[in-house]
Structure 1
Amino acid sequence: MANISDVVYYATSDNICRYCSPSVSEVLGYDSEQLVGRDIRGLIHPDDLAALHFPEAQDFQRVQIRVLHTDGRYLWIEFTLRLMAEGTQYSVLAVGRDITERKIVEQKLQESVERYTSLKKYNHDAIISLDLEGRIINGNEKACQLTGYSIPELAGMNVGRIIGAEHLGEVIAYSKEGSPAEVNIDHIWHREGYSVEVLTTIAPIIINQETVGLYIIAKDITDQKKLLIAKEAAEKTNRAKSEFLAMMSHEIRTPMNGVIGMTDLLLEMSEPGSLQREYLDIIRQSGDTLLAIINDVLDFSKIEAGKTILHEEPFMLMPCVDSVLELLQHKADKKGLKIEVSIGPDVPEHLIGDGERLKQILLNLVGNAVKFTYTGGIKVTLRVLARAGGSVTLEFTVADTGIGIPESSRGRLFEPFYQLDHFIDRRHEGTGLGLAITRQLVEMMGGSIALDTTVETGASFVFTVKLREESGSLPDSASGTEGDETLSGERALRILVAEDNEINQIVLRKILEKRGYSVDVAGDGLQVMEMAREQSYDLIFMDVQMPRMNGLEATQAIKETLPPDKQPVIIAVTANALKGDRELCLAAGMDEYISKPLRSEAITNIVGKFF
């Protein structure tokens, strides 16, 4: 046994050493002769003496005890003990190995684990420490709650039992990375057999620049998952509501096309100053009011459902502003109000952005100013706030001398459906959506809007929008100048109206025939294709939603089958303008896009754009 590096000793039942291998001198510093005949218990740390007792009916055990070195230190020795019976007496054969360095590492590991888990005991995350073999060393209180096991029960357990055997190799592999990592462990198994959804992170335990173990940090996301499901359900309900509103608005706009279109035709036929003309004006005004309400509902539902898109197109600023003022000037004149405009000298004229949405913002704000003002007037001020990288930020101020807004109501002004009913009587009609839509459009255009609270009388709204500057002049079509309304004598165009609604067929046909055009009607997409092959048409007004074949499919078929010299101009006609619709129409080969209800002047202008 002289060549064995481990310590080997033999002791009788009285604990007297009868033999000790020479290797004891290298391990503990003693000569083997010094130990023979000596009670070995005198070398063992008092706290470890109990480990030497054999359990009943067991003749083999492995123990880790501290043994005194000749220099006064206690070293950790792992002994394998074999109990040998000799009649009524017994003896013990022991083989021991120095594990002091390993125990120091384990002690540091345990201290690190205990320090980390104690710091985290109030944390909402479960923390489980384990060695590189996947055996659990310790855990915090949250780990006990998550798994259903106590800390003593967790200690020594294979971690695969709670994370799943399929993830054990993955966890151990991450120990070699040396940095925190998120792993694909999405559940922890409870002792009762059910799983808990978690978000798991692994972090190495490093001692003396060496990875000696791992932390598994698991966040219980059950509550967050429930909140997410509830949030998604609420958003789904909200989207369904918005889509329903959009659908209903679409369904209402379609018959409105007949009401407004026929009213326009009758107004053109009636004698100025007649009683019939007066009645028709009332119908037209009521139709416009109803259409404004429908447009508000449609716009708000589209924005809320995320189906609104801004169009980046060249436009001229002054015609945009002037067109808004012209629309409202008649109402202002009836109330004796003056509308003033002040524009800074450095404000650019040519811009790129969504001019129609800017007009809508101004129309809402200036329209409100006219509505709530009875004496005095309205002033629109425009100045440059900033310039950078070819973009310009414009600041608009719309101020009036009207009834003002109470301080108690200012915080809710931009909420949807909010009306100041507690101080505004029912002379002021509307949906309560105008300012909510305005705010959303302003924010989509990279700006903000607020009520100026420093104004003592009336109300003053300030908003900003970010647009790109356009270099050079714009073509006439972008300047806001509309086409000539008297085109009937220039050319006898042949036009096909593709529309499945009979009333809308009549309206559009009458408007076009009154201007001298030759008009045919098709009721669905397949009929459009057949008629386009048989006849040569200059222009087709194509309803997007039709039976058998929709307008997009019919347009694609016409573009693919007709020779270039027989290709008509195709105008998309729709009762709804959702996000992407315009792009879909243009991608299908349509040349322009117009929405219902159709106005006589709008029809004239769209024809005049191409002929």
Structure 2
Amino acid sequence: MQQRSESFWHRFKISNAYGQLIALIFLPIMILALAGAYIVLQETSRSMQSQQITAASAVLTRYQKTASILLKLDHTSIAKHAEAQHILQYMLNEPDVIRAALVNVHGMAQISVGHRNHRAWPAFPVDSDFFGPIQFDDNHIYGMRIGYSAQGPVWLMIEMDNQPLTLAKYRVWLVLVATGLFTLLLLLLCLNFYARRWIAPMYEIRLQLQRMNADSLGKSFQTNSTGELALLQKDIATLLRRLNFSFLELKEHTEQTEDDLRKTLDTLEVQNITYKKARDQAISANQSKSVFLANISHELRTPLNSIDGFIHLMLRRGQLNDENQLYVQTIRKSSAHLLALINDVLDFSKIDAGKLELEVANFNLEEAIFDVMDMLSPLASEKQIDMAIYYDHDLPFQVCGDILRFKQVLTNLVSNAIKFTPEGDIIVRTRLEHQDANRITMHCTVQDSGIGLSGTDRKKLFASFSQGDTSVTRQFGGTGLGLAISKQLVQLMHGQIGFEDNQERNPTEKGATFWFNVQFELPDEQPQLESVMSQFNVLSYIAHPATANIFKQYLEDYDAAHHECSSILDLFSRLKQFNGLGEKAWVIVDHSSDLDALLQEIRTRYQGNLAIYGYQMLLDPQILQTHQALALNQPLSRQNLLKLFFNQTQTTSAPVFNGQGLHVLAVDDHLPNLVVLEALLNELNVEVTTALNGQNALNRIQERLDKNQPLFDLVFMDIQMPVMSGPETTQAIRGMEHHATQTHQLPIIALTAHAMSDEKEHLMQAGFNDYVTKPIQLEQLMQILSTWTKADQLQTIDSHVNAPSLATPEMSIQSTHYNHIASDHTNDVILDWNLSLQLAANKADLAQDLLRMLIDSFDDEQSDMEQLIELEDFPQLEQNLHRIYGATRYVGTPQLQQLTGEFEQFVSILRKEQRPADDDFIEQVLQRYNALLEAMSHVRIAAQEYL
């Protein structure tokens, strides 16, 4: 309250508009008015006094002769005295005369008339022929000498009534007050008009400008102003939009510049490391070289700034011919891998300079190892390399050490194994080597079946800047610092590192085995893990021998009954025996190229618990869901195995979800997407409010805030929308929550048609809570609603059933990956009506409506795309293609979906690479556009059968 009061009075300082208005206009007018009133009062009083003096002088002059005659009469005679009084009585007829008398020098009245003639007359100047006014009892006394008597001079004196003067003065005061109030009212009206017309809008503009920051430059700028201020407001809003655009462009250029600078810096630092080592070999080079590398970064960055700046200038000016453009682009591409080099170099220099310190904290050892393997599994999956990990049962659950450096060592070894292994497998083994009361030593090996190591390679393998591959082609690339850094990191963790060639152990084996051991402290307490599985019966077939042995060893450690099959046919022959073993029976089978056919064959013989072992990105969740199977991700871990058996023990019963009481806001600029989402949510008894863009969504939320109604339980938000994009709308909602002092954050779930590996991180930074990929399935909605709403009150599941989670973000990414893979095999399918029904929650009417809306949009989309291609507005063309691609994900049109997605990705090249559109690019755009039109025509024809 005090701060608000201070802010209010701050406006009236002389430096502000209100203060200047009061000081320059209001105060001078008030001072002039007060001075004028004072002068008027003075002059009026003086004028009325002069009038009274004039009137008194006139009366005395008129009766001077009469009074002289009366003075000569004999006053001793009563009759004469009464006659004199009668004559003098005529003076009382004069205006304002109260009494009159003939007074001698002693102040004694010889003749006196009037109603106050009994009172004495005040002292008066006896040496004056005329005097007055003399104040006496609120009246004025005037006198004139008229002659002499026996006692001395005699004066004719009269008393004038001052009441007319007082009344006249009151009238003047009344007129002045009325005039002053009227003047003040006019001034206040003028001040109010001026303030509302100019000052208040200026303060609103100032407040909004003060609240502006880099994130809110693109928001709307609104004030209640007219005239010139309205024009100023529009100019400021335009300026802010330009600033926002310039800021985003500058930010993008800055990031690109920093990236290019780092890449160029990496190249020069690596070169300088080499030069430094050669120079310092004559002195005992290692320590001096490391100190030099640690201190030279500033000197390297200065020339690199110039180099990078000139490269950008050359590219921005666009004056390069095709050949020079290729050269400059080659320079930029050649520096793409320098970031990894500089990181290795800096780590190496820190270690050699003794400036690298390990951070000690408790961490899950098994989880850390599998984090590394999960991170590298896409690379192994791409090369079709099997990976397996054996985690010793005797190793503790938690240890105390530097998890980041431990992962760095393991990542270097496993990534090298993947890099130098064209086919085969990679096996990681861990075991407890030694244990004390509060410390353990863990031994880890990484075995691959790659190219192996020659005798020459072994001598320099752990040396800095050396590799096993030293050929001119540098097939595998790299800095040669990974193993050197790993060696020194292991030494910092009080361990050792080494390697051996597999052929020395067995002449028929290929590849090499790297090993290291490190020491970890033990925390005071270890969590207790569930390790008894004697009630489980497991039938398995895993083709990879190492994984099969590891799986077998895990089950033996947990006392589970395990039946291992020698082939897939052996598995089929045993399946019927497992049908009657109850919910504790599991069948685990290896992933195959035709997963759908494999699961169909299994389900003809077996209806119990089923899990498929394979890489996460190769297992399609839709196929798994169709056949009620779960995924057991490669490489196999104890935690995933325990989670599979104890948390998800049945797949034949689906959860019953009741969303009654939930109110969800769905935001999407494409009507078919909204229709599908609303239909799916209605299936779950969820109330849905829809909005076609971000601004409409904000209006819906603001309406509920204005009416003091509770906000929505959850928001589904599309990413790419007109008016306001999904991230912009989400940030605006977070701002509204902050100002509305909400007790809990509104869950906002992103809807996207493209799920990239790093997209979730960007969405979380933008304010989203989670995301799902299109097309949205009913299971995904159930999972999202259970996670982000009152799941304990809304989800009802059979007490004997624990259903698996089928809609995690990871599975959404798998689904997207599968769609891209499957598109290669389904691009000749024009309209898949079964898929359309599945995407429409098996509702034929909804599937027909979605198909009809898609076809109805073709004409408008075709017209818009033709105009955009003619104008070469490829960013907007990318938005249109994204809209069509999102619509096709809810309709079974595989060919159209594939062409639209590829077309969108192709157009996005301009934005990602920031290059102008050349003739070749435009020609390819036209080719893809014609193919898209042809696919639309095919969909129109095929849809006639169902509409």
TM range (shorter): 0.3 to 0.5
- TM-score (norm: length of structure 1): 0.35
Per residue, is there more strand in 1 or in 2? 1
Query: Could you say which structure has the larger radius of gyration?
Result: 2
Per residue, is there more helix in 1 or in 2? 2
